[in-house]
Copies of this chain bind each other. A is one copy, B any other.
Amino acid sequence: MLRRIRVGDPSAASHSPGAIPGTRRRDFLRQSALLASSALGVRAIAAPGSVSAPRSENLPPNTPRWMKVQGEPVVSAPYGVPSRYEADVIRRATNITPTLWSSWSFTPLQDLHGIITPNGLVFERHHAGTPDINPEEHRLMVHGLVSQPLIFTIEDLVRLPSISRIHFLECSGNGLTEWKAPKEKTVQGTHGLLSCCEWTGVPLSTILDEVGFKPQAKWILAEGADAAAMSRSIPIEKALDDALLIYAQNGEMLRPEQGYPLRLLLPGFEGNMSVKWLRRLKLGEKPFMTREETSKYTDLIGNGTARQFTFVMEAKSVITFPSGGHQLKKRGPYRISGLAWSGRGRIRRVDVSTDGGRNWREARLEEPILTKALVRFRLAWNWDGGPAVLQSRAIDETGYVQPTRDQIVAVRGTNSVYHYNAIQSWQITQNGEVNNVHA
């Protein structure tokens, strides 16, 4: 019979996710794990005579109930779904848009591990909802200042030379609630307009070579097939650099809300420029001054002027454990974990402070460290039970250092909506609550 012997204060220990063995690692484990008697009458490896289902009468009385019955057969779900015990790990909407048609939903970063975002949890930002597109009817037209305008089917595009890349995608409005005061309670709310996938598609440069773009072509209008005809102007330099026409994410075809059957991907640029449901590319001499780059997606500066065409998502990072809404149950060793990314290339370093920015320690970065992709960082921390303020600071390969809140406000004021990439502060109170603060 299995016996569980509690040692120390396991009721506290067993509810503090993220606590880790540090210098007192063995002691910690001794205290927090449940000890097994070494004289256990352990379960037989295979009940004699049984083929797959052990006979209940031969089992120890504390055998888990799921070992006493056959489970679900294969292909119960030909396309699988998460455990019913993970029902809270979902995208969540905002309450600050008048409707959910032109709105967004957030990725639950506090529940994720590693760098890949599973397709079911990739954040959404739509301007007129997700269209239901039949891929056999969908077309991409490329025209304007070209030698030969062309219309492509999805089958045409899939047969072209393709590449696969892991890149983050971030809405330029990620963190927009945080300019004036710390508003959102969780990292899903403060940073959840952020995801990272393996994307497969055709380099846009391949298409531009084929249509024969003219020397005076400097900008490309990208238009979506949603009811908003979501449109942005793309500089030709980006189009010829690393822009992709994407039809697959994380191995399978794009999800409807991610642009099925075709989207643009501009690695490192603000998310809305990676136009979804892509139906048209028009080459021209000047930016097209679409609705989305006049009424929206400009940055109002403190002096009343605005920055336009602020494409690149600058280096940023955030601690996802512990983060807002978590509850530390006891002092002792913890493992801080978070994400860093830069629209300009690779992350070079992430520093972590536990005292509101006075002292910094370098975190461990998980390989592979890819360009314009999320990087997972981890660092051991011993919480002494007193107040603390956790911060992370990303440095990218260009030497750019993620700014403090004071630094970004000094340059930008607090009237902007987009491109808020200040250092995030999580306050740990003496009772172990984790709160979003400006520090």
State how many angstroms separate the Cβ of A366 from the closest Cβ of chain B. 5
Contact of A129 among B72, B155, B198, B229 (CB under 8 A): B72
Please measure, in the bound complex, the distance between the C-alpha atom of A16 and the C-alpha atom of B153, giving whole angstroms.
11
Chain B residues lying within 8 Å of A117, measured Cβ to Cβ, are 251
Is A133 interfacial (CB-CB < 8 Å)? yes
Chain B residues lying within 8 Å of A300, measured Cβ to Cβ, are none
Closest to A134 in B: B85
**B36, B89, B135, B378: which contacts A162 (Cβ < 8 A)?**
B378
CB pair A227 B66 closer than 8 Å: yes
A163 at the interface (CB under 8 A from B): yes
CB A101 to nearest CB in B, in angstroms, measures 5
Known pairs A72-B130, A132-B66, A227-B54; A376 contacts B164 (CB<8 A): yes
Given the complex of chains A and B, what is the CA–CA distance between A80 and B143 in angstroms? Answer: 34
How many copies make up the complex? 2
Expressed in whole angstroms, the Cα–Cα distance for A149 and B38 within the complex equals 6
Q: Are B255 and A83 in contact (CB-based, < 8 A)?
A: yes
Whether A161 touches B130, Cβ cut-off 8 Å, given contacts A46-B231, A143-B40, is no
Asked whether, in the complex, the Cβ of B82 is within 8 Å of the Cβ of A251, the reply is no
Bound Cα distance from A201 to B164, whole angstroms: 26
Do the beta carbons of B71 and A129 come within 8 Å of each other?
yes
Q: Which residue of B lies closest to A104 (CB)?
A: B74
Instruction: Return the contact of A250 from the options B118, B134, B139, B151 (Cβ within 8 A).
Output: B118
Across-interface contacts of A158 in B (CB, < 8 A): 17-18
- Confirm or deny: A387 has a beta carbon within 8 angstroms of a beta carbon on chain B: no
Residues of B within 8 A of A18 (CB): 158-159
8 A Cβ contacts from A109-146 to B: 111-122, 124-135, 137-139, 141-143
Q: With CB as the reference atom, state the residue of chain B lying closest to A73.
A: B100
A45-B291, A129-B70, A229-B67 known; A121 vs B252 contact (CB < 8 Å) = yes
A290 near B46: Cβ-Cβ < 8 Å: yes
**Chain B minimum-CB-distance residue to A257:** B80
Chain B residues whose CB sits within 8 angstroms of the CB of A21 once the complex forms: 160-161, 210
A255, B153: Cβ atoms closer than 8 Å: no
Does A399 lie at the interface of the complex (its beta carbon under 8 Å from any beta carbon of B)?
A: no
Q: Taking the complex as formed, is A228 at the interface, i.e. its CB lies under 8 A from any CB of chain B?
A: yes
Known A83-B256, A89-B252, A151-B36; judge A231-B45 contact (CB<8 A).
yes
The answer to whether B111 touches A252 (Cβ under 8 A) is yes
* Smallest Cβ-Cβ distance to A26: which chain B residue: B210
Q: Which residues of B contact A150 (CB under 8 A)?
A: 29, 33-36
Interchain CA distance A269-B135 in the complex, whole Å: 39
A221 within 8 A of B: yes
CA A120 – CA B70 in complex, angstroms?
22
Closest chain B CB from A209 CB (angstroms): 8
* Distance in angstroms between the alpha carbons of A64 and B99 in the assembled complex: 24
Residue in A37, A79, A84, A99 with the greatest tally of chain B CB atoms within 10 Å = A79
Interface pick from A90-98, A235-243, A308-316, A345-353 = A90-98
Q: Are B101 and A70 in contact (CB under 8 A)?
A: yes
Most buried by B among A15, A164, A250: A250
* A143 engages B282 (CB within 8 Å): no
Taking CB atoms, residues of chain B closer than 8 Å to A122 are 80
A135 CB to nearest B CB, Å? 6
Residue-by-residue, is A13-51 near B (CB-CB < 8 Å gives 1, otherwise 0)? Answer: 111111111000110011011111110101101110000
What separation, in Å, do the CA atoms of A152 and B100 have in the docked complex?
43
A70-B128, A72-B130 known; A229 vs B162 contact (CB < 8 Å)? no
In whole angstroms, how far apart are the Cα atoms of A26 and B380 in the complex? 56
Task: Determine the distance from Cα of A34 to Cα of B231 in the docked complex, in whole angstroms.
Answer: 23
Indicate if the CB atoms of B53 and A228 lie closer than 8 Å. Answer: yes
* Nearest chain B residue, comparing its CB with the CB of A137: B64
Give the complex CA separation of A159 and B20 in angstroms: 5
Interface residues of A in 332-369 (CB under 8 A from B): 334-335, 337, 366, 368
Known: A25-B210, A35-B149, A46-B291. 4 other contacts (CB 8 A): A79-B90, A80-B91, A115-B198, A159-B334
Report, nearest first, the 8 A-B pairs whose CB atoms are least far apart.
Answer: A71-B129, A73-B100, A66-B131, A114-B164, A78-B90, A113-B248, A113-B200, A36-B149
